[in-house]
Chain A
Amino acid sequence: MPNTSSRAFLMSASAALALTAGAVSADTLRIGLASEPTSVDPHYHNLGPNNALARHIFTPLIEQDAQQLLNPGLATEWEAVDDTTWRLTLREGVTFSNGAPFTARDVIYTICRIPLVPDAPSPFTLYTRAIAGLEAEDDHTLIVTTDGPAPLLPNQLATFGIISASVSGAEDEVSFDTDGCTGIGDAPASAEFNDPAFAIGTGPYTLDAYIRGEELRLTRNDNYYGDAPAWEQIVMRPLTNAGARVAALLAGDVQMIENPPTQDIARIEGDGFVISSGLSNRVIYIALDQGDAPTPGIAGDTNPLQDARVREALALAIDREAIQQRLMLGLSEPAGELLPAPMFGTNPDRPAIPYDAERARELLADAGYPDGFQIVLGTPNDRYINDGAISQAVAQMWTQVGVQTEVDAKTFSAFIADRNGFNFSAFLAGWGAGTGEMSSPLGALVATRDPDRSLGGTNFARHSNPDIDDRLVEALQTVDDAERERLLREASAIAMDTFAIVPIHYELTTWALAPGLEYEARADQYTLGFAVTQAD
């Protein structure tokens, strides 16, 4: 008798074990995040982790698929009536998670509220600035006018989720005005969205609990208009230490993690776990200061980096394939532009920049530096995949062609402070194209610094070339897709031919999942729990 009961106990215990070891209970998905969202407010901080979380709760007017191509969201159709007028048809029969119907009023309210978010570290005004007028023809038709041709409007409308006007305290009539909307009441502070009663959207999930630093719990929204996702609950836990994240996955504490470290991927796959990886829209590049002579980090009164031959030499001296194979273990794609083909505005025939140390030495000699020079390469060491190690490898390669390189590696916040103070002659950084097309990296990194035109905001190399600027500005006002793409391709080709900036590679984004789960890698690097499916 004792025997039977202990065997029964053993069997039930092993059955329970089998369930947990399978690690996938049918209704809850646990995710280990590499970095925690800073707020649930979808308009507070234009940052990957925040935007990814917002997609669960708030739907944008236009959705982006895994390759950032545009799909209907809360708007089913959008068309350019003329150069400055767009007509949006909104989806009918959609309700918020609290049961209230979704109408044009919520869209107007959302666009009114975006500039009013207090203390937003990275506001979404970048994407609403072009809008000069909003008029609701009826509850489900919206006319958008812009202050000039705004060909990127659909891409821009895809970047933010729609919030509920009523829950936020708006009046029944909300009307848009660039000088200040009427009927919007007091715009809510970002912290209020951390309360589940306030975080009301039209997305596939609702907020259940938000415990800063511990976990985020989401519950399926039964009022969601789209296909019901597989998971009753999603739990997200910030696990910023990469080792801890891998350990949590292997132990079955979570079923999905972001960014498993490259060196651990072989082992994770060997244990039967699933790796999903795909090309991202993020380019890792080196910027070379062309603004001042002398420049910090290079001895002497001259700035050799103002000579395009020197920049070409530094670009050719980098062995991108070695970095891809030895440091990234295949999780990168050597780059020849600032955005991978076939994304919008890229030159598909342009190969990655080749490795040619001989030619690099010749170019340096031609430019008057046969013995090279000394340079300091600034780099973050905790922001991009293997960033510190890549910089050290570049330092090796530059030193081997005669440019004695010292690496100044620091944590990202300290790095940003130094970079924004123009303290680096050369620095390594990354750029993710939020809109998924070429005007984003060109406008931010290569266009002449010009706050009035919102161009060159991250151009800390201070490169300036009117040939690029003119094409870019024209492209930004061209609604015709083919013509705009031609202009962007030309601008990109000029930037690459003059080595305005030195791309290294595009990051592959990687997720690791428990056996039996599937996730399509996304170019925008978002981790979307509702897109995780069980393979059968």
Chain B
Amino acid sequence: MSDISITPPVEKAPQKKAISPLRAAMLDFASSPLAMIGLVVMVVMVLAAIFAPWITPQNPYDLSQLSIMDNNLPPGSESFGGQTYWLGTDPQGRDMLSAIIYGLRMSLIVAVTATLCALAIGMAMGITAAYFGGRIDTLIMRVVDLQLSFPAILVALILLAILGKGVDKVIIALVIVQWAYYARTVRGSALVERQRDYIAAARGLGLGHARVMFRHLLPNTLPPLIVVATVQIAQAIALEATLSFLGVGVPVTEPSLGLLIANGYSYLLSGAYWISVYPGVALLVAIVAINLVGDQLRDVLNPRLRR
């Protein structure tokens, strides 16, 4: 038996033509055009975020490149330097297009880092709880219950009030808010897997706890985790945007999408719509794209939803 098979055991008879499970999953995924669009948008956004320093006309975090004389210009205006601001400028004279791409970069860095850390912590906790059971299980799961009984935004606000401002602090807050979801998900599927023969066999061979947990049990609990992680990245982006909008997130001189929206909020009534609206659209598109991909992944990886 392979250690790292990623499809859970399926009751249905395998398809006639022998294709690898991974390829089958990919074909399944591609069957939804909406999800493919989501995937393409997601990939484009991730690439734009990664290559932001090379593709943006301006570095909006470098204060020496900004000029207050260029502030609040409508989309399509030209600067004194002859540069065109396709999406206009904000009250500090930042090029909105550059600011949105950098903001997206900031939002994605914060969300992905926080999700990966939370995933690692949650996974370890969930597997430990399921594998050992008994008191350890009770202890970990009560902490998880306690954590999940508070609204995420409230916990994050309190944490940031204590920790102070900064990108690292936001990531810490997001990790603390999110790890419980993963712990709960992993524990659920690990409890089922634990009863199966291959685990008994592995134990029978005299393998150590750690090896059984991480080499045998963990790989078989991954599919639901992948789905949860995808959805949680979108959640993390939204949560970070909310925190920044409320002024407790990233520093004002390095705006994320949420802070850009907050910057333009007071200008909405006076007609300078572009400062808030474009970052808002970018945020919306990013979250919808990730959710589309996440939904389709869930359909593909969940045997009960198999058509």
Contacts and interface: CB of A to CB of B under 8 A. Distances in A.
Interface of A: 242-243, 246-247, 261, 263-264, 266-267, 319, 322-323, 326-327, 381, 388-389, 392-393, 395-397, 399-400, 405-411
B68 interface: yes
Q: What is the predominant secondary structure among interface residues of chain A facing chain B? A: helix
Contacts of B267: 263
Interface string B90-108: 0111000000000000000
Nearest to B254: A406
Interface residues of B, number: 24
A400 B269 contact: no
Given A243-B266, A263-B267, A400-B63, A326 B253 contact: no
Interface string B47-73: 000000000000000111011110110
B171 interface: no
Interface centre among B63, B64, B67, B272 (most CB of A within 10 A): B63
Contacts of B64: 396, 399-400
Contacts of B252: 381, 388, 392, 407, 409
A396 B92 contact: yes
A319 B68 contact: yes
B303 interface: no
A393 B71 CA distance: 10
28 contacts: A243-B266, A246-B269, A261-B266, A261-B270, A264-B269, A267-B271, A322-B68, A323-B68, A326-B68, A326-B69, A326-B72, A327-B68, A381-B247, A389-B91, A389-B92, A392-B253, A396-B67, A396-B68, A396-B92, A399-B62, A399-B63, A399-B64, A400-B64, A405-B63, A407-B251, A407-B252, A408-B165, A411-B247
A259 B106 CA distance: 34
B276 to A, nearest CB: 12
- Closest 6 pairs between A and B when the two form their complex, measured CB to CB: A399-B63, A263-B270, A396-B63, A393-B68, A399-B64, A264-B270
Contacts of B269: 243, 246-247, 264, 267
Nearest to A261: B266
Nearest to B66: A396
Interface centre among A246, A263, A266, A408 (most CB of B within 10 A): A263
Contact of B272 (A263, A326, A327, A406): A263
A201 to B, nearest CB: 38
Contacts of A406: 251, 253
Contacts of B71: 326-327
A248 to B, nearest CB: 12
Contacts of A393: 68, 92
A319 B253 CA distance: 19
A50 B291 CA distance: 52
Contacts of A405: 63
Contacts of B68: 319, 322-323, 326-327, 393, 396-397
Contacts of B271: 267
A247 B269 CA distance: 9
